[in-house]
Structure formats: C-alpha cells, structure tokens
Amino acid sequence: MRYATTLALALAATFSAAGAAVQAQEAPYPAKPVTILVGFPPGTATDTVARMLGERLAQRMGQQFIVENKPGAGGSIAAGLGARARPDGYTLMIGASAPQAINPHVYPNLNYDARKDFAPIGLITWLPYLFVVSPDNPARNLTEFLAAVKAKPGQYTYATTGIGTTSHLVTAVLLSKAGAAMVHVPYKGSSQAQTDIVGGRTYATFDTMVSSLAMVKAGRLKALAVSTTERVSTLPDVPTVAEQGFAGFDMGAWLGLIAPAGIPPAIQDRLAREMNAVLADPAVRDKLADIGAQVRTTASPASFGAMMKSEYDSWGKVVREFNVKATD
C-alpha cells in the first residue's frame, strides 16, 4: 500500500512537471522582456537604430525590448556574448558589417564563429558614410583635403570607430585609391572621435551619417564627401566620393537583427515578420532617413542569411588586400 502511494505521488509529480513544461512551451512569445545586445556605445549608428527598432517592436509585441550596450573590439564583445546566450528568443543582437563580416578576418582569437553561431532574422538598414573634417579645415572638398595629405605624407591622422571596423576599411580603401597616407587612430566609438576632430587632435573620420549628421547640421563638423554612388537627400549639397575622382566608389555598412543559433524557427519567423512590419511604416522610414539611415529589408531569414554569407566573403577580400590586423 505504501509502495502504491509513493508511485502515485511520483507519477503525479512527473505529469505535473511535464504539463508545466508544455504550458511554458506554449506560452505566447514574448512572455517577458527581450534584450537586444549592441556592440557599440550609445550615440553610434548601431545604438540609435537598435533603440528605435526596440521601441517599435515593444509597441507591436507587448513586451519591453531593452538595449544593452557592450562595446569593444569592433562589436565583437557583444557578438561573443550573444553567441553564448540561450537561443530562446530573449537575447537578440544587432548584427553589423564589422562583427559579422569583417572582424572574423581581423581578430585571430574571436570567441564566436560568425558563420555558425548566429541565426539570421532580417536586414534593417544600409548606412552611408560621411567623410568629415573640422569646420576650420581649409579644404573645401575631398580633392583639396587629399592634396594636403599627399603634400605632407604621414603627418595627418584619421579617426575610426576601431581597428577593422567599416569606418577603418572604408578609409583605407579611399586612401589606397588616392595614393595618400595617413596615420590611423582607432577609437571605441564615434562621439570621442568627432570631439577630437572638433578639438584639432585628429583631422578626419569616415563615419556613418547616423553618427555624424547632427554634428554636420550644427556646423561642428564639415562634410566633404558621402560614400554612396548617389548623393543623399538629407545633405544634397555634399558630393559623393565617386564624383570627386573615384569612379565606382560605393561603400557602407549594414545592420540587421540576429539571434543565437538554435532559436526556434517559429520565433525567428515571428520576429522577422514583426520587424519588417515596423520598417514598412512610412513614419519609421522617414525617421531613419532623417538621421541618415536607408531602410533595406530582406524577404525572409534565409535571404538575410545568404546576404550575410556574401558580405563575409567580400569583406574578407578587403581585409586581406589591405593586410588589416588587430595589432595595427
């Protein structure tokens, strides 16, 4: 009799636990706040876009989407944390050109595999870059600035958001095409780099429009060129790099939403649908355009995954061509 009672209690506990597990699995997603990891400091393009997206996803999905900044190593610190997070949909990341496509070719000991450790959700934006200098710089355009640099090789410095970042590589490509040499000064983010340009401690930077547009409009920075093939509507008087003697120059960065590999496909697809719905809103598109980001989306997580692979391969070629290393 005592054995039967014990067995009955054990079976009841088992069925109760199983029922709770099933109920938990069937709980609507998201059932608690979602964290979005950002590999760059507040005020950078990645952070700005992440906060705008998180706010709109929270409105649509009924839970908070909390941005956590984990800057360092060109976005790789956040990527490593994201790769090791539970793949349950409650830790997401803003994937970007640097940590997903560039850094694996630059840093020899990353604690993540960009090709295996992440699940794609969707593309968010394309980020044009602005080449900016101090308003006191006498150069009126990119041609004049590069002429001054070539007249004093090695005496001009340029700031970037870190070794191997898109900011670094876009500048390296431009200087190579121009036959000019400048000294690279890497920073952890855009704000300090821009402050040092205004203060005369370094001469120029190639940074995203999202990060530099406000300073340009306020007259604290002077834009000499934009990296895309066509001028941007927010700064129609700023010529492209291509217009100033570098035909075909077209570079920039992408931002997308990713998750740890192994996320349930239903959650992955739900996030993709909700994000694309947010980005289809004209008000969101206009707001992103106002800060210098161009909305671009992908049809499905699979198509974004294919794009990420292509970007990984193409940026790898650039890193090898310019022999960019983490010790530079």
pLDDT of residue 212: 92
DSSP for 148-182?
HHHHSTT--EEEESSTTSHHHHHHHHHHHHHT---
Q: Is the peptide bond before 239 cis (omega within 30 degrees of 0)?
A: no
Angle among Cα 302, 163, 318 to the nearest 5 degrees reads: 55
- Structural contact between residues 102 and 42, judged by C-beta atoms closer than 8 angstroms: no
Contact 296, 141 (CB under 8 A): no
Quote the pLDDT of residue 121: 98
Q: Which residues of the chain have pLDDT under 70?
A: 1-27, 327-328
Question: What is the token pair recorded at 299?
Answer: 């049809």
Question: Could you tell me whether strands 157-160 and 222-226 are parallel, antiparallel, or unpaired per DSSP bridges?
Answer: unpaired
Q: Is 124:256 a contact under the CB 8 Å cutoff?
A: yes
> Per the structure block, which two tokens stand in for 280?
């289809």
For residue 72, the model assigns a pLDDT of 84
Question: What's the Rg (C-alpha) of the chain?
Answer: 23
pLDDT at 22: 42
Contact 23, 240 (CB under 8 A): no
Q: Could you report the per-residue pLDDT of 101-132, keeping only the tens digit for each? A: 999 999 888 999 999 999 999 999 999 999 99
Name the strand (E) or helix (H) holding 29.
Answer: none
Which DSSP state fits 97? I
* CA nearest neighbour of 319 among 105, 77, 71: 105
Burial of 32 (0-12, 13-18, 19+ CB in 10 A): exposed
Write the single-letter amino acid at 151.
A
Give residue 19's pLDDT.
45
> Cis omega (within 30 of 0) on the bond before 120?
no
pLDDT value for 327: 61
Question: How much is the pTM?
Answer: 0.80
Query: What is the per-residue pLDDT for 153?
Result: 87
Query: Residue 11 and residue 229: Cα distance in Å, rounded?
Result: 68
Within 13 Å and on the Cβ side, how many CA atoms surround 211?
29
Supply the pLDDT for residue 191. Answer: 87
pLDDT for 322 equals 84
